[in-house]
Structure 1
Amino acid sequence: MGDVTTDSPVLLLAPRVNETGLQLRTAAGLRGLRARTAASWQAPRELLGARVHVYGGPLFGDAVGRELGLALLEPSADWLARLPRVSTGRRVSATTLAEARGLRGPAFVKPPADKLFAARVYPDGGALPGPELLDGDTPVLVSEVVRFRAEYRLFVLDGAVRAGSRYAVDGELSVAPLGRDDREVAVFARDVLAASASAAPLPSAVVVDVGRTDDGWAVVEANAAWASGGYAAEPGDVLDVVLRSSGPAGQLGAADRPFCRELPDVVR
């Protein structure tokens, strides 16, 4: 790609582009949006001052976000724990790794955003990463163990589902369009987003994962759209959510300011 003017929006993809990134690059091209894959884990000098949106993991966002003047939206770390139990289908608490190390029985434990350690069921707190690996003040979510029979990814824009896909069945990867479950997913998602609006607000562009358990429907988690796989969701609709979730800070609406990822300074 040649020189980029400040008036020409660009979708910048992480160097290790995945299938969703390839789909987004095609979708961007179809609507006349410039797209390129970064050559390294540094902000391209020719894009400084341009209108840039990014798609990639947290490491890529941290590496280029501040220099490119981006606002990267992500849900609050305690979002899941603030939802009513009718939405989560289980007890969920937001705590620290130090507290979680004291667990005496099995629990599903995960870092809320960055993948600092494996998100899975731990037999007790002693099986979690020790203080020699991670600080005790590391935020974690601790959940009652439930079995999700099927799981679905929903790309949400302005409080409404824009695109979705099934991504797992009985804990194994199983990608498919929503199909016969789309009505049930839509009804549950509408209820969750309504409850979230008052109890636990979300950024205007976000990913929410939901699933079907033996007892009904439940929220799995929420994630940053700019760092989430699209699976079988319509790429053009996914692109709309990604662009809002990772655009220039100067275009950020007031309601989204509390959801901006804290970006580190990068020394070249």
Structure 2
Amino acid sequence: MTTDRLLLLAPRINDTGLQLLTAARRRGMRAQTATAWRLPEELREVRPAHLYGGPLFADAVGRGLGIAALEPAEDWLVRLPRELTRRTVELTTLAEARRLRRPAFLKPPADKLFPARIYPDGTGLPGPDALDDDTLVQISDIVAFRREYRLFVLDGAVHTASRYLVDGQLNVAPLAEDPYRAEVHAFAAQVLAACAGTLPSAVVVDVGLLDGDGAGGGPGAWCVVEANMAWASGGYGCDPDRVLDVVLRAAGPLADLAPADEPFCRALATVVG
């Protein structure tokens, strides 16, 4: 990759953003943090460009920078076979989810429009005055994870990985230092083989080990937690240089977009003013 490239990061920079700034500058890239949630005037003609930040930042600056931002399909987890999810996962509208009368894990499938957590029922979801009735909601059976891992995936293979949770508590370590590293790699290979063609070429996939209390999980069962946009995901204990490889592909020039990734392009907003 040539070094005459821009990496623009969202104003609310996190630890991963700081690591990516350093890694990008080591490569000779022009890497900087935006000072506001809009495209800086002096960068409007800078090409080629990449970004790192949440969906709001991508919508604010992505089109102006000529970026193709890759994201998994909203129903990707729903379409996985149960042997990979170990739980029932549904996708419905917010209007329907508000009628739910049982505990479930509820979340927006992509953008963080409301908190992702266990709800006692659907009555605690945002009302129609806050979010449209046709807003999508993912409903999952409640399961308990013993351990959770983040995988940065490039071209269908794990490029770098990290543990991030143990027994529900933040517990970060590079996968190479984790006692379950062989099992994680084996399950990741199984998942990525089963999902060939259903994910963008650069993406984040989270996997976890169930503690045996979840619905249908069984003791020691591995399962997929979710998939996310690499350009909006924390790196935890992953190798920052390898995270950068995935981020640059996941949010890079539209002119570099491979045909296989076209279905995974986020519909970026047109910013007026």
Provide the TM-score with structure 2 as the length reference. 0.92
2:214 counterpart residue number: none
1:88 counterpart residue number: 85
2:254 counterpart residue number: 249
Residue 180 of structure 2 aligns to a residue whose secondary structure is helix
Determine the C-alpha separation between the residues in 2 that align with 1:171 and 1:136: 32
CA distances 1:113-148 after superposition (whole Å, capped 9, x unpaired): 111001111111122222222111101111011001
Give the drift of 1:175. Answer: 1.2
Q: Where in structure 2 are there 5+ consecutive unaligned residues?
A: 212-217
Determine the C-alpha separation between the residues in 1 that align with 2:115 and 2:12: 21
Determine the C-alpha separation between the residues in 2 that align with 1:91 and 1:195: 18
1:63 counterpart residue number: 60
Determine the C-alpha separation between the residues in 1 that align with 2:30 and 2:271: 25
Determine the C-alpha separation between the residues in 2 that align with 1:219 and 1:152: 10
Conservation of the 8 A alpha-carbon contact between 2:4 and 2:28: no
- 1:9-158 equivalence runs, <5 A: 9-49=5-45, 50-158=47-155
Give the aligned residue type for 2:241. G
Give the drift of 1:33. Answer: 1.9
Determine the C-alpha separation between the residues in 1 that align with 2:11 and 2:128: 32
Conservation of the 8 A alpha-carbon contact between 1:109 and 1:121: yes
CA distances 1:160-198 after superposition (whole Å, capped 9, x unpaired): 000111111122221111221211110001111111126
Give the aligned residue type for 1:232. G
Determine the C-alpha separation between the residues in 1 that align with 2:194 and 2:95: 30
Determine the C-alpha separation between the residues in 2 that align with 1:127 and 1:44: 39
Residue 261 of structure 1 aligns to a residue whose secondary structure is coil
Conservation of the 8 A alpha-carbon contact between 2:105 and 2:139: yes
For residue 229 of structure 2, the aligned residue among 224, 230, 248 is: 224
Instruction: Determine what percentage of the aligned residue pairs are the same residue.
Output: 64
1:233 counterpart residue number: 238
Matching of residue 159 in structure 1 with residue 156 in structure 2: yes
Bigger shift: residues 240-249 or 169-178? 169-178
Bigger shift: residues 127-136 or 100-109? 127-136
Bigger shift: residues 32-41 or 53-62? 32-41
For residue 207 of structure 1, the aligned residue among 204, 210, 214 is: 204
Conservation of the 8 A alpha-carbon contact between 2:161 and 2:237: yes
Determine the C-alpha separation between the residues in 1 that align with 2:199 and 2:167: 28
Report the aligned-residue RMSD: 1.4
- 1:184-199 equivalence runs, <5 A: 184-197=183-196
Give the aligned residue type for 1:238. V
How many residues align structurally? Answer: 261
Determine the C-alpha separation between the residues in 1 that align with 2:13 and 2:191: 32
Determine the C-alpha separation between the residues in 2 that align with 1:209 and 1:265: 31
Give the drift of 1:7. Answer: 8.1
2:182 counterpart residue number: 183
